């Protein structure tokens, strides 16, 4: 058993199946916060954008992924 994207326990085979299909984003608040942070990078810089996301309780692994590796962001 492993944890899937929604925080539920799933068998390894069903997790592999769900990873092959992109799920629609359900956390719109986090999406909006991330969009604000990414848009602020040219004027405020990467450090301030990261501080903003940390203050807004965006998980660190998500913040690093979207700020440092923008090509790993989910499609809207």
- pLDDT digits 0-9 by tens, 15-45: 444 444 455 566 899 999 999 999 999 999 9
Provide the residue range defining the domain that includes 67: 2-72
Q: How many domains would you assign to the chain?
A: 1
* Whole-number Å distance between alpha carbons of 15 and 30: 23
Task: Indicate the pLDDT class of residue 72, thresholds 50, 70 and 90.
Answer: confident
Q: What pTM did the predictor assign?
A: 0.62
| Between residues 34 and 72, the one the model is more confident about | 34
């Amino acid at each position: 058993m492993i944890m899937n994207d929604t925080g539920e326990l799933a068998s390894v085979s069903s997790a592999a199946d769900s990873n092959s299909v992109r799920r629609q984003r359900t956390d719109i608040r986090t999406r909006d916060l991330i969009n604000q942070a990414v848009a602020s990078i040219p004027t405020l810089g990467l450090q301030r954008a990261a501080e903003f996301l940390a203050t807004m309780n965006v998980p660190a692994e998500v913040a690093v992924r979207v700020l440092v590796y923008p090509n790993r962001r989910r499609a809207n």
